[in-house]
Amino acid sequence: MIPAIGTITPSSNRVVERTLAGIMRHIPGVDSCIARITYYGAGIGQPKDGYEAEAYRHAAWQLGHAGIGALSWNGTRGAGLGLDADRRLCAIMAEAAGCPATTAALDTARLLDRIGARRIGFVTPGDTVYAAEAAAGFGLTLGPVRSLDLKDNLAAASVPPDRIAALVREVAREGGVDAILLWSTNLPGLDTMAPLEAETGIPILDSAAIGVWGTLLAAGIDPTPAASLGRIFTIAM
């Protein structure tokens, strides 16, 4: 049987599936499967300070029916909640699906450690508090932040890539950062990573792409055929 990975995404997300398609065309012979949990508007469908575990359990259980090798919650909430919340969520999802489970936040923490990042800049659709909470969750120093101040998760999907690129350049010009995070899996940043890395010399890390990278690794699949999309795909663990 062809190997496969699974992804759980928010119900209001328009970007994760697009990002998956963009990456997986570079990874031949691997299927990708998607499930959704309720999350829309200003966080409707999930508790403010945690996860509605049963929704994730059911989504993971269904993905397990497809014989996936690993699955991910491709969402960024875990950094602000505290990474232990994501570790507990992974245990729930892994048991339900019968395979390894990870999250975009946990994969980001691993990636930042792997590249030795200590001070990170952010481009985020949310407010600056969201970025500060994420940096604290990673145990790293908060660098420059550019916020779009959007209140609705769906709105992030409509931000033009050239607007994202302009904000990344602003963060890069302030300097002193080891990496710049595009911190929402509903922010369409995949196509900006490689060009901006070449332009700025700084790792540009799209959170939805990180979620796919981490899932591939959890499934034992080499991500390096997608290296043209950004330097994260040159890193295999």
Mean pLDDT by 10 residues, the chain (237 residues): 96 97 97 96 86 97 98 96 97 98 98 97 93 96 96 92 98 97 97 98 98 98 98 92
Pairing between β-strand 141-147 and β-strand 119-124 as defined by DSSP bridges: parallel
Helix, strand, coil % in the chain, rounded to nearest 5: 50, 20, 35
User: Which pLDDT score is estimated for 196?
Assistant: 98
Number of domains present in the structure of the chain: 2
- What does pTM read for this prediction? 0.96
User: What is the domain extent for residue 36?
Assistant: 4-103
Domain's final residue, options 38, 69, 103: 103
Tokens encoding 171: 């963060």
Question: Any idea what DSSP says for residue 14?
Answer: S
Question: Any idea what DSSP says for residue 139?
Answer: T
User: Which pLDDT score is estimated for 88?
Assistant: 98
Cα separation, 65 vs 71, in Å, equals 12
User: Which pLDDT score is estimated for 44?
Assistant: 86
User: Which pLDDT score is estimated for 48?
Assistant: 86
209 contact partners, CB below 8 Å, separation of at least 6: 19, 23, 189, 190, 193, 229, 230, 232
What's the CATH code of the domain at 50?
3.40.50.12500
User: Which pLDDT score is estimated for 101?
Assistant: 98
